[in-house]
Chain A
C-alpha cells in the first residue's frame, strides 16, 4: 500500500502510553485510552463544509465520532481528525415505516430520545448508546439480537458517501452496491458518510421482559443459547478469572420488548461521571475476582425474572460517564473474537483457560452466540459462531504477550478479532483474519487513513 499521504509509519507498539510524556491530555482519545496520539481536531458542523475543511491538508484525515471504539481505528497519529458530532441533524422521519434519515454525527442516544416517544427503537443496540450513526456503520456494530437481526448495517437502507475529491455517491444494496458494502464495516476509510437512512422498529413500551439464568460451564451456556433462539435479545456475562469448580460460570441474560402498552417518555440524562483516573493498584486480581463473585451472586436465585427499563438492560455502563477512567491513565486493552461453530466450543474453553491462568484481571467478559444472518459489509466482523469480549488493564510486560497468544489461538480455531476493539493485533494476524483486506483497500479514499490501518497493512 502506498500513497502520498501516509503519516509516519508506526513500526513497533510503544511499550507504555506515549501520552504520558505529552503536556496535557491528548486531543482525542479512544475508549481504551491506548494508544494516545497527537492529532489536529477539525470540527465539522455542516455537510456542506466537506471536503472544503480538508483543503490543503497533507497528513491524512480520518472522520471520527464519539471515540467509543477501544483501540486505534478512531485515531490518526499526527494527522487530522474530522470530528463529526456537531453534524447531528435529523433530515426526515416516516412515522408509518419507521425510516429515519439523519446526519452521520447524530448519536444513538439522540436517536433514542427522538424515536422512543414516537414508539420506535433502534433495530440493533450496541453496549453503549453514546456512539454516532456514522461510527455504527463504519464498525458495522452488533448487539444482543445478532442471532435474529444481524448487524447494524443490515438496517441501513441507504447513505451518502462524500470522497475527499468532492464526489458524492448515494449507496444502497441496489445503487453503488460495492461502495455500500465497503463502507459498512469500512472503518471510516472509504469517505465521509454525511447522512444515512435507518429502519427503526416499533415498540409499545420502554420495558424489557427480562430473564437472568445462572450457568456453569460452556455446555450449559450452549444449551441456554439453543433454547432461547426465539428470544430477541440474549447475552451472557462470564467469569473469566475463576478456575476449577467455578470455571466459566456466568449469567445468561435474555429479554424481549414488552408487548404490554406502557409509557414511552425519553430517558433522563445521566448525572454520574467517573471523576478521576483511578490509581494503578485499584484494579488487581483480588478486586476483580471480588467483583466477579459479587456479580455472580448478585443474582441470588438460579433464575430471575423481571420487567426492566431498556436503559439498564442495554446500556448498564452508560449510567457512569467516563467509566473507562476506572482503568487509570495507562488504559485498557479489549479483546473480542468470533470463532465459527466448528471450533467454537473448544476454542472458547481453551481461551478462557488461558485468560484465567494468566491472572490478568478482566471483568465484564461478555459471551454471545452470533446468528447466521449474513453481514452486509465487506469487512464486517460478525459471522456465525461464538463471540467473547474481554478487557484487561494495560500492564505492558504481560498484557501484550497474552494478547498475542490469544490472537494466535483465535487464528488457529479459524476465528477473527474485531478491529473496533483492537489496539494490538499484528499485521500478519489482521491479514490472516481478513484476507479480503486488499480488495477492500481499493475502495479506501486516498486522503483517509487511520493509525489502525497503517498498523495492520504494513508490508510483511
Chain B
C-alpha cells in the first residue's frame, strides 16, 4: 500500500513553492488544500496562532511537502521586508505568492466613523501595496513568478451596501492592473481574482449565505487560473457578464437602484 495518493489528471509541478498571506481566510485555506494534495511547499502567514497551527496541521496531513508558518499582523507594514525575506528563505525560493488577507468591515459603521473606513482601506489596500511592492521586485529580479491576489467583484462598481469595502478592492484592482502592465514584460504574472459572494467564515453570518458559491469550487478555479497564468479571474465565471452589465448601467439609473 502506498502512503502517497495517486494523482489524477492534473500533474503537479515538482513541489511548487508557495507563499500564502492570510492563510486562515476561507478561500485561502480551500486553495491551500488543493496545493497540499499536489505536494506543494507552503509558507503560511496569519494573525491568529491557534488557527494557523490548525491549518498547517491539516495541510501537512493532506500531503504538503513542506509547511512553515509565521504569525504576523500584516497591518504592520514595517515588518513586511523582514517577514517576506524570511518566507522565501524558508521556502528556498518562491514560485507563487498568494495574497488572501482582508476584512469585510462594517459598512454602516464606516458611514459614521471615518476611522472604521480608514481601517478597511488600510488592511485591504495599503498593506497589500506594501507586500506587492516587495514581492513584485523580488519576482522581477528573478524574471519569474506568479502573484495572485484576492480582490472582489465589489470593486467593479461602488454600491451603497458595501462601497467602503468596494473602494478598497477597486483600488487594489487598479493597482494590480498597473503592476501587471509594468512587470508582464519581465516574465512575472499578476493574477487579479474577483470572487463573487462565497461561503466562508467571513460571510457565514450574512443573510442568504447558503446561496453563495461553494468555496472548494472557487479554490479549484483559482488553482487553474494560476496554472494557466491568467490575468483576471471572475469566479464563479457568471460574475464576468454580470459585472460587465453592472458597470455599464448609466449612473443616472444606477444611483436610484438598490444593489
Contacts and interface: CB of A to CB of B under 8 A. Distances in A.
Interface of A: 43, 45-48, 83, 86, 89-93, 95-96, 103, 114, 117-119, 202, 204, 263-266
Contact of A89 (B4, B58, B204): B58
Given A45-B201, A46-B54, A92 B61 contact: yes
A92 B204 contact: no
Contacts of A114: 5, 62
B5 A91 contact: no
A89 B50 CA distance: 13
B6 interface: yes
A86 B204 contact: yes
B3 A95 contact: yes
Nearest to A113: B37
A2 to B, nearest CB: 33
Contact of A86 (B6, B8, B57, B201): B201
B242 interface: no
Interface of B: 1-6, 8, 26, 50-51, 54-55, 57-58, 61-62, 201, 204-205
Given A118-B1, A264-B5, A265-B6, 10 more contacts: A90-B58, A90-B61, A90-B62, A91-B54, A91-B61, A103-B54, A118-B3, A118-B5, A119-B1, A119-B2
30 contacts: A43-B201, A43-B204, A43-B205, A45-B26, A45-B204, A46-B201, A48-B51, A86-B201, A86-B204, A89-B55, A89-B57, A89-B58, A90-B57, A90-B58, A90-B62, A92-B61, A95-B1, A95-B3, A103-B54, A114-B62, A117-B5, A118-B3, A118-B4, A118-B5, A119-B1, A119-B2, A202-B1, A204-B1, A263-B6, A266-B8
A202 B1 CA distance: 8
A91 B5 CA distance: 17
A213 B26 CA distance: 48
A265 B8 CA distance: 7
A324 to B, nearest CB: 16
Per CB-CB distance, the 4 closest pairs between chain A and chain B, nearest first, are: A117-B5, A95-B3, A89-B58, A43-B204
Contacts of B62: 90, 114
Contact of B58 (A43, A83, A91, A119): A91
Contacts of B4: 118
A419 to B, nearest CB: 26
B58 A48 contact: no
Contacts of B5: 114, 117-118, 264, 266
Nearest to B202: A45
A213 B24 CA distance: 51
B6 A264 contact: yes
Contacts of B1: 95, 118-119, 202, 204
A265 B58 CA distance: 20
A92 B57 CA distance: 7
Given A89-B55, A90-B58, A92-B61, A117 B6 contact: yes
A334 to B, nearest CB: 24
B10 to A, nearest CB: 12
A34 to B, nearest CB: 20
Contacts of A95: 1, 3
- Most B CB within 10 A of own CB, among A83, A93, A117: A117
Contacts of A48: 50-51, 54
Contacts of B6: 117, 263-265
Contacts of A86: 26, 201, 204
Contacts of B201: 43, 45-46, 86
A202 B2 CA distance: 11
A270 B58 CA distance: 25
Contacts of B2: 118-119
Contacts of B26: 45, 86
B124 to A, nearest CB: 21
B97 to A, nearest CB: 23
A92 B56 CA distance: 11
Given A95-B3, A118-B5, A46 B50 contact: yes
A92 B61 CA distance: 5
A96 B1 CA distance: 9
Contacts of A96: 3
A46 B205 contact: no
Contacts of A118: 1-5
Nearest to B49: A48
- Most A CB within 10 A of own CB, among B5, B8, B57, B62: B5
A89 B3 CA distance: 19
A47 B52 CA distance: 12
B61 A93 contact: yes
Contacts of B204: 43, 45, 83, 86
Contacts of B55: 89
A95 B26 CA distance: 28
Nearest to A264: B6
Nearest to A90: B61
A172 B32 CA distance: 32
Given A90-B61, A93-B61, A265-B8, A47 B54 contact: yes
A75 to B, nearest CB: 17
A447 to B, nearest CB: 21
